Amino acid sequence: MKAYRFDSFDSLDELRLREEADPRPQRGEVLVRVHAVSLNFRDIAMLRGRYPRKCIPGLIPTSDGAGEIVALGEGVEAFKVGDRVMGAFHPRWFGGEMPSTIARDSYGAESDGWLCELKALSQEAVVRLPDALTYEEGCTLPCAGLTAWTALTGPTPIRAGHTVLVQGSGGVSIFALQLARAVGATVIATTSSAGKAVQLRALGAAEVVNYVEDPEWGRRVRVLTAGRGVDRVVEVGGPGTIAQSLRAVALGGEIASIGFLSTENPGIDFFQLKTSGASFRNITVGDRAALLDLNRAVAATGLKPIVDRVFAFDEAREAFSHLERGAHLGKVVIRVS
C-alpha cells in the first residue's frame, strides 16, 4: 500500500509518500480500504510545534478517515466486508471516564494515523458511516463533527431558544453552527473575512461579527443579545480569544474550551473569569458513544458536512498548505482511493 509519513516535523517537505507492506487484520480487527481523510488544525499544529503534547516523528499523519471494510480478522462479528465505516478519534474511549490510554493513542502524534491506503484496526475503533454521507463527507465527523457535538451537548444540551457563539469558519465552528441551527438555536458567528461572513449567514448565522475590525467583539456579541450574552461559546481561539469570550457569555452560560488557534497569550484575569458567572468545560473531542449519537443526529436531520475542497492523494502537501492558509470554510479533505 501507499502511505504518507512525516519523517520529521521540520517542514511540509518532510511529508513523504512511501510504498509499504499491506497491513493484515489480527484477531478482532478489520482491514479498511481508506477512501477519504480530512485534515484538522492539529495536523498543522504538530508540524509547527504547537501541538500541546509530544509528537513522535515517522508516523502516518491525520486522525480522521473513512473507508470500506475489505477483510476481517478472526472473531469479528460487528462488521462485514463491504461495510462503510469511519474511525473514532479516540480508538479506546468508548464512554464514561476518559481512559488513561488516551495519552498514547493520538493518531499522527503517538500512533499511525489515516493518510494511507489500508488501515487495520480494532472493530471497536470504527463506527458505521451514516448512509446519506459520501466518504468525503463522512471522514469529517470523527474530530471536528464530534467536537462540535460534545461542545453543544454535555451537562446543558443546547436547544431552541439558546444562543451559541462560534468563532471563525473552520471545521469545528461550521459543524457547531449547523448542529446548533438543527436544534433551533440562534447562532452568532465571528470571522476575519467579509466574504466568509456572507457564507456564514447563508448557513444560518443570525449575526456575524468581524473579529479583526472589531477587537472588542465580545462586547458587540453581548449587545447583539440585548445585554444577556450567549448560552454557549464554542471556544476555538484559546488564549487570545478567551477574554472576549468571557465578555460575550451569559451568566450561567458555558464556555466550551476547545482550541488554541490564536498565537497571542495575554493571560486570563481571574476576576473576569469569576464575575462572568459562566462555567468552563474542557472538551477532548468525545467518546465512541457520542460519535454514535452524532451519527443518529446527522441521519435524522439530514445534516451535510461542509467540505471546502477535496484534494487528490498525491496532492496531500497542497491540502495541508491550503488548511494552513486559513482560506477554507468548513473541512479540507484528501481523497485516498
Ligand X SMILES: NC(=O)c1ccc[n+]([C@@H]2O[C@H](COP(=O)([O-])OP(=O)(O)OC[C@H]3O[C@@H](n4cnc5c(N)ncnc54)[C@H](OP(=O)(O)O)[C@@H]3O)[C@@H](O)[C@H]2O)c1
Residues of this chain that interact with ligand X (CB under 6 A) are 40-42, 45, 143-144, 147, 167-173, 190-193, 196, 211, 236-237, 240-241, 258-262, 283-285, 323, 326
Closest residue to ligand X, judged by C-beta, is: 170
Helix runs in 203-332, H state only? 217-224, 242-248, 270-275, 288-301, 316-325
Query: Which lies closer to ligand X via its Cβ, residue 121 or residue 323?
Result: 323
Residue 320 makes CB contacts below 8 A (sequence gap 6+) with: 12, 15, 39, 43, 44, 47
In angstroms, give the least distance from the CB of 337 to ligand X.
24
Query: Which lies closer to ligand X via its Cβ, residue 32 or residue 176?
Result: 176
In angstroms, give the least distance from the CB of 208 to ligand X.
9
Which residue spans within the chain are E strands per DSSP? 2-6, 15-19, 29-39, 64-72, 84-87, 118-122, 126-128, 163-167, 186-191, 207-210, 230-235, 249-257, 279-282, 307-312, 331-335
Query: Which lies closer to ligand X via its Cβ, residue 135 or residue 260?
Result: 260
Could you give the C-alpha distances from 168 to 104, 192, 195, 237, 329, in angstroms and in order?
30, 7, 12, 8, 9
In angstroms, give the least distance from the CB of 151 to ligand X.
8
Query: Which lies closer to ligand X via its Cβ, residue 122 or residue 262?
Result: 262
In angstroms, give the least distance from the CB of 284 to ligand X.
5
Q: What is the DSSP letter of 99?
A: P
In angstroms, give the least distance from the CB of 119 to ligand X.
21
